[in-house]
Amino acid sequence: MKINRTLIKCTNWALAGILSMLGFTGCLKEPTVEYGMPHADYTVKGKVVNKATGKPVLGIRVTYNSGNTPEYGIPSTPYAPKSSVITDANGTFKLTEKSYNLYPYTQEKIPVFVEDIDGEENGLFHPEIIEVDFRNAEQTGKRDHWYEGEYSVTLNVELTEIEPENQ
**In degrees rounded to 5, what are phi and psi of residue 166?**
-75, 135
> What pTM does this model have?
0.64
Q: Mean pLDDT highest for which of 74-83, 87-96, 115-124, 144-153?
A: 87-96
pLDDT tens digits, one per residue of 17-39: 887 777 655 555 555 545 667 77
Q: Is the pLDDT of residue 92 over 90?
A: yes
Q: Is the pLDDT of residue 167 over 50?
A: no
Q: For residue 44, give the 3-state DSSP assignment.
A: strand
What b/e readout covers 5-19, taking b as 16+ CB neighbours within 10 angstroms?
eeeeeeeeeeeeeee
**In degrees rounded to 5, what are phi and psi of residue 103?**
-55, -45
**What pLDDT does 117 receive?**
85
CA distance 22 to 135: 47
For the chain, what is the mean pLDDT? 77
